[in-house]
Amino acid sequence: MTPSSRTPVPAADVVADEPVHRGAGRPRSVTADAAILEAVIDELALVGFDELTIESVASRAGVGKATIYRRWSSKSELVVDAIAAVKPPLVHPDTGNVRDDLVEVLVAGYGRRAEPVTARLLVGLCMELQRNPEIGQLYRERLAGPRRQVIIGILERGIERRELRADIGVEDVVDLLVGPLFYRQLVGAQAPDRAAIRRLVDLVVAGVEA
Amino acid sequence: MTPSSRTPVPAADVVADEPVHRGAGRPRSVTADAAILEAVIDELALVGFDELTIESVASRAGVGKATIYRRWSSKSELVVDAIAAVKPPLVHPDTGNVRDDLVEVLVAGYGRRAEPVTARLLVGLCMELQRNPEIGQLYRERLAGPRRQVIIGILERGIERRELRADIGVEDVVDLLVGPLFYRQLVGAQAPDRAAIRRLVDLVVAGVEA
Amino acid sequence: MTPSSRTPVPAADVVADEPVHRGAGRPRSVTADAAILEAVIDELALVGFDELTIESVASRAGVGKATIYRRWSSKSELVVDAIAAVKPPLVHPDTGNVRDDLVEVLVAGYGRRAEPVTARLLVGLCMELQRNPEIGQLYRERLAGPRRQVIIGILERGIERRELRADIGVEDVVDLLVGPLFYRQLVGAQAPDRAAIRRLVDLVVAGVEA
Amino acid sequence: MTPSSRTPVPAADVVADEPVHRGAGRPRSVTADAAILEAVIDELALVGFDELTIESVASRAGVGKATIYRRWSSKSELVVDAIAAVKPPLVHPDTGNVRDDLVEVLVAGYGRRAEPVTARLLVGLCMELQRNPEIGQLYRERLAGPRRQVIIGILERGIERRELRADIGVEDVVDLLVGPLFYRQLVGAQAPDRAAIRRLVDLVVAGVEA
DNA sequence: ACATAATCGAGACGGTACGTCCCGTCTTGTG
DNA sequence: CACAAGACGGGACGTACCGTCTCGATTATGT
């Protein structure tokens, strides 16, 4: 998914996804990559996902349209990459307590969605997940996956510490925590603040604790 | 929201939303309304929300574009109406048991979302919810609201029967039930079948039962 | 060739080539026709045939690109029509003398080609004559044809008056008169002034007089 | 005009237009020159002058675009050189008779223009003559000039032999012979065959013979 | 023998125009 | 009046070339 590794022909070496320049021809400009992704973020903030045009991105980045199309074959892929590049870093709370750990990680990952911009990013992505299964796969692997792993880690530590029952399906519990936050953001148009997240965590944990 | 009541100028009478014909001139064609909504559903099924164009709808319905714009001011409103017209009817299970009631109502309302078509409708709507707060309000009132009321009714009956604790926030619990189904549909691209819904209900009820 | 009669589907009535509006739909705007053709002439004068772009014509005419493409399928056809619309009017000299008649008609028709603009129009047309046989046919019928007829008339009156031999091929003589003027314009880049035209006429008439 | 002598910086030595290599560095490839010119001819034959692109020439010749731009500064110059390289050789007929000499040289020089390819070359050149005066000069000197000289020679021998009048302007007569052939080719889209050329010569000679 | 230097094929760069599609509005003639 | 048809000005689409600019690799020459 690194821009420069995206090519019409499949990469020869799947293991190394670093943008290695092999063979003839001028290599792709790294600065152009950066300028484009930055321009995408700016435009998303200004006008939202589907008012965003490739032409405005190109113009803002000081780049030809072809330079964008050379790297990304659709607005969707472009936006996924741009968002991936700015995703907030993961947190790995370990307070020794399942409830507090969950609140921390959920606030860090989903609590900042109050602004309409983020909501539009989110829904724009969902759009693409439906349309393009590959993008969906990508999103789940690169964006959602790591966050889910953190939550799963918290739950498993809770099980080890006997805070939680051992027979729960952790994947189900993760959905139970994350799903409502998505739902409120997308459908309810509510900002999930820390208090709301804490109530949610309390409800869920009540159902799974030992 | 009934098509014929939608006019460029605000309706004089908000209470009666039946299409009343007042004054001179040819009244609006009722068959055109139906043809348009049907064409929208067909197009949504064929190409999805944002590949859907007003022109293709008009052409499929055998109708002029102006006839559509005379009734709906945007693609979003048109699509909301079209979907509202085909929404599956509400069920009101009353098995005397919270768990079974919840499974029934959730399967009826969210279990048929296996097909990509429905997912696209869903996400297309979400799109509009973000963009246009009025549409969001509309959606919550006319589509989501009644379903939530049914679930709330089930929960309250459960409280009366002492199946559930009395101190739970029913709105939070509804989100806890509905959110993961949305999430799996939109992000996970998984069909929430009856078994998955039952597992979900078990988890949630475990957290709220007396 | 009248703009409004040009349609994707062949005209039902070939005899009447007037832009008659039959059937449904908004008729094509006559003012748009005029604005486009005028803009073409202006652009040709400013930048020449192949620096002329459809976009600049549309912008100068205050018209959408589609409005142009609805009427003409290529730059060539557009330019042919535009030039046809401004072609200098025919003259019909009748001095009673073949030499003077010829000089008059040639000066009127080909003597004004001194400016590079006209030369570019000319060569732009030739370009299209080669590429598109239909355009060539059109050009010969609508632009060149009438002028040739005038010259043929002069020659035939000369034959009747016994100024010219009766056995000459008038078409050949027309080529003999017109060809060198084209040639000098296109290849020699010389302005054919009245004196040069008179010398030419003298030479040709010397070969065909009785 | 020899490819290798064409440089971004003006040639130091105008007299010797042979490609002399001075100083260090890899000399220009002669085989690349040949491949490019051949590719130009092929492309001209396939798609005509203004559908011809530098990229297609480069690709067909198996050459980088820069290798072309290093030698020629425009499509026009490139095409002029390519055509010059394949121009049919001059003939120098001397039958002792003006009429027959003229027919021979005109057939050799202009009679083979029946094919649309040649016409396209011709008109493509004309295009450039108008646009770029230097190219026009070049064309007249290197392609048209020698042919005109041959015709002038024939005419002057005719004058010496008293076949022709001594007071004629030979340049005018050349135009009179060549112009109509151009005209028919470009505008009339007719192949000037030997019979047509003979009729033309007869008409012209009739006007200039003693 | 080796550094120098200009070449080579390849192909990415910032641009511009293309011709198409659809937007939402606006005229037509007909019922 | 509303209707179907369809033209209108506008604007983004994705493509094709433009002429320029790196790349790594090659090929003579001048020391």
Quickly list DSSP for D33-45. HHHHHHHHHHHHH
Q: What is the pLDDT of residues A123-160, one digit of tens each?
A: 667 766 766 667 777 777 777 888 899 999 999 999 99
Q: Which residue has the tokens 């396209």?
A: D120
Q: How many helices (H) and strands (E) does chain A have?
A: 10, 0
Residue C116 contacts D, CB cutoff 8 Å: yes
The three-point CA angle B93-B95-B98 to 5° equals 90
Distance in Å, alpha carbon of D198 to nearest chain C alpha carbon: 11
Rounded Cα distance, C181 and C106, in Å: 9
Q: Among candidates C51, C183, C110, C111, which has minimal Cα distance to D131?
A: C51
Rounded Cα distance, B144 and B131, in Å: 18
**Residue B5, pLDDT above cutoff 50:** no
Rounded Cα distance, D78 and D44, in Å: 12
Q: How confident is the model at residue D153 (pLDDT cuts 50, 70, 90)?
A: very high
User: Phi-psi region for residue A175, left (φ > 0), alpha (ψ -120 to 50) or beta?
Assistant: alpha
Longest dimension (CA), chain B: 64
Residue C119 contacts D, CB cutoff 8 Å: yes
Q: Which residue has the tokens 């004058």?
A: D159
Q: Hey, what are B145's tokens?
A: 């609201």
Rounded Cα distance, A172 and A34, in Å: 38
**Residue A116, pLDDT above cutoff 60:** no
CB contact under 8 A, B130 and A136: no
**Residue A93, pLDDT above cutoff 90:** no
**Residue B21, pLDDT above cutoff 80:** no
Q: Among candidates A119, A114, A134, A123, which has minimal Cα distance to A194?
A: A114
**F8 C1' – C29 CA distance, angstroms?**
8
H or E segment at C186?
Answer: none
Sign for the CA dihedral angle at B118, A51, A43, A4 comes to positive
Of D198 and A115, the one with more pLDDT: D198
User: What is the structure's pLDDT at B198?
Assistant: 92
User: What is the structure's pLDDT at A55?
Assistant: 98
Q: What is the pLDDT of residues B80-138, one digit of tens each?
A: 888 878 776 778 888 989 999 999 888 887 776 545 566 666 666 776 676 666 777 77
Rounded Cα distance, A58 and A176, in Å: 40
User: What is the structure's pLDDT at D51?
Assistant: 87
Q: How confident is the model at residue D113 (pLDDT cuts 50, 70, 90)?
A: low
Provide the 10 A C-beta neighbour count for residue B195: 9
Residue type at D167 in one-letter notation: D
Distance in Å, alpha carbon of B136 to nearest chain A alpha carbon: 7
**F11 C1' – D32 CA distance, angstroms?**
44
All chains having 3 or more CB pairs closer than 8 angstroms to chain C: D
Query: What percent of chain D stands above pLDDT 90?
Result: 40
Q: Hey, what are C15's tokens?
A: 């005899």
Distances (CA, A) of B120 to A119, B46, D30: 18, 11, 61
Q: Among candidates B68, B54, B55, which has minimal Cα distance to B6?
A: B68
Identify the weakest region by mean pLDDT among A42-56, C96-110, C123-137: C123-137
Distance in Å, alpha carbon of C170 to nearest chain D alpha carbon: 11
* A chain contacts of residue B139, beta-carbon cutoff 8 Å: 187
User: What is the structure's pLDDT at D34?
Assistant: 95
**Residue A174, pLDDT above cutoff 50:** yes
Sign for the CA dihedral angle at A18, A20, A26, A30 comes to positive
Q: Among candidates C92, C112, C123, which has minimal Cα distance to C187?
A: C123
Average pLDDT score over residue span B26-38: 90
Q: What are phi and psi of C167, to 5 degrees?
A: -95, 10
Average pLDDT score over residue span C106-115: 72
Q: Hey, what are A7's tokens?
A: 């090519």
Rounded Cα distance, B33 and A53, in Å: 33
**Residue B193, pLDDT above cutoff 50:** yes
Contacts of C197 by beta carbon, 8 Å cutoff, 6+ apart: C103, C106, C107, C110, C111, C181
Cβ atoms of C107 and D118 closer than 8 Å: no
Average pLDDT score over residue span B55-75: 95
Give yes or no for CB of A66 within 7 Å of strand F: yes
C91: helix, coil or strand? coil
Residue D206 contacts C, CB cutoff 8 Å: yes
Contacts of D202 by beta carbon, 8 Å cutoff, 6+ apart: D99
Distance in Å, alpha carbon of A82 to nearest chain B alpha carbon: 18
**Residue D20, pLDDT above cutoff 70:** no
User: What is the structure's pLDDT at D116?
Assistant: 57
The answer for B 44-73 residues in CB contact with A (under 8 A) is 48-50
CB contact under 8 A, D187 and C140: yes
**Residue D100, pLDDT above cutoff 80:** yes
User: What is the structure's pLDDT at D139?
Assistant: 77
Q: How confident is the model at residue A115 (pLDDT cuts 50, 70, 90)?
A: low
Provide the 10 A C-beta neighbour count for residue B149: 12
User: What is the structure's pLDDT at C40?
Assistant: 95
Report CA D145 to chain centroid distance, whole Å.
Answer: 9
Q: Which residue has the tokens 């039930």?
A: B177
Cβ atoms of B187 and A182 closer than 8 Å: yes
Of C209 and B56, the one with more pLDDT: B56
Cβ atoms of C67 and C35 closer than 8 Å: no
Give yes or no for CB of D88 within 7 Å of strand E: no
User: What is the structure's pLDDT at C60?
Assistant: 97
Q: Hey, what are D137's tokens?
A: 């000069």
Identify the weakest region by mean pLDDT among A131-135, C18-22, D94-98: C18-22
Cβ atoms of B87 and B143 closer than 8 Å: yes
Query: What percent of chain A stands above pLDDT 70?
Result: 78
Cβ atoms of D17 and D48 closer than 8 Å: no
Best of C148, C186, C202, C208 to substitute, by most chain D Cβ atoms within 10 angstroms, is C186
**Residue C206, pLDDT above cutoff 50:** yes
Sign for the CA dihedral angle at D71, D72, D75, D78 comes to negative
Q: How confident is the model at residue D193 (pLDDT cuts 50, 70, 90)?
A: confident
Give yes or no for CB of A29 within 7 Å of strand E: yes
**Residue D106, pLDDT above cutoff 70:** yes
Cβ atoms of A102 and A81 closer than 8 Å: no
User: What is the structure's pLDDT at D47?
Assistant: 87
Q: Hey, what are C125's tokens?
A: 């047309």
User: What is the structure's pLDDT at C21?
Assistant: 63
**F17 C1' – D55 CA distance, angstroms?**
7
A209: helix, coil or strand? strand
Of A13 and B146, the one with more pLDDT: B146
The DSSP secondary-structure symbol of C52 reads -
H or E segment at C193?
Answer: none
Range with the largest mean pLDDT of A43-52, B2-11, B85-94: A43-52
A169 → closest Cβ in B48, B116, B199: B199
Rounded Cα distance, B109 and B115, in Å: 14
Average pLDDT score over residue span A85-106: 85
C123 → closest Cβ in D127, D139, D140: D127
Residue B183 contacts A, CB cutoff 8 Å: yes
The three-point CA angle A42-A45-A51 to 5° equals 95
Burial label, D148 (beta-carbon count in 10 A; 0-12, 13-18, 19+): middle
Distances (CA, A) of D191 to B62, C27, D117, D184, D198: 54, 44, 12, 7, 13
Q: How confident is the model at residue D149 (pLDDT cuts 50, 70, 90)?
A: very high
Rounded Cα distance, A62 and A35, in Å: 8
> Is A touching B (3+ C-beta pairs, cut-off 8 A)?
yes
User: What is the structure's pLDDT at A74?
Assistant: 87
CB contact under 8 A, D184 and C188: no
Q: What are phi and psi of C174, to 5 degrees?
A: -60, -45
Contacts of B29 by beta carbon, 8 Å cutoff, 6+ apart: B67
Cβ atoms of B122 and B178 closer than 8 Å: no
Cβ atoms of C72 and C78 closer than 8 Å: yes
Of C181 and B11, the one with more pLDDT: C181
CA atoms within 13 A on the CB side of C111: 15
Of D118 and A55, the one with more pLDDT: A55
Give yes or no for CB of B98 within 7 Å of strand F: no
Q: Among candidates B137, B149, B42, which has minimal Cα distance to B90?
A: B149
Average pLDDT score over residue span A31-40: 97
Residue B162 contacts A, CB cutoff 8 Å: no
Contacts of C54 by beta carbon, 8 Å cutoff, 6+ apart: C65, C68, C69, C75, C78
Of A121 and A71, the one with more pLDDT: A71
Q: What is the pLDDT of residues D44-70, one digit of tens each?
A: 888 888 789 999 999 999 999 999 999
All chains having 3 or more CB pairs closer than 8 angstroms to chain B: A
Give yes or no for CB of B67 within 7 Å of strand E: no
Q: Hey, what are B177's tokens?
A: 């039930």
Rounded Cα distance, A78 and A63, in Å: 14
**Residue C164, pLDDT above cutoff 70:** yes
Of B39 and D44, the one with more pLDDT: B39
User: What is the structure's pLDDT at C68?
Assistant: 98
CB contact under 8 A, A181 and B179: yes
Average pLDDT score over residue span C136-147: 79
**Residue A57, pLDDT above cutoff 70:** yes
CB contact under 8 A, B50 and A127: yes
Instruction: Give the nucleotide at minimum CA-to-C1' distance from D55.
Output: F17
User: What is the structure's pLDDT at A17?
Assistant: 44
Cβ atoms of D168 and D146 closer than 8 Å: no
Cβ atoms of A150 and A92 closer than 8 Å: yes
Give yes or no for CB of A53 within 7 Å of strand F: yes
Q: What is the pLDDT of residues C32-65, one digit of tens each?
A: 999 999 999 999 888 888 789 999 999 999 999 9
Instruction: Give the nucleotide at minimum CA-to-C1' distance from B64.
Output: F4
**Residue B7, pLDDT above cutoff 60:** no
Distance in Å, alpha carbon of C122 to nearest chain D alpha carbon: 10
**Residue D14, pLDDT above cutoff 50:** no
CA atoms within 13 A on the CB side of B25: 6
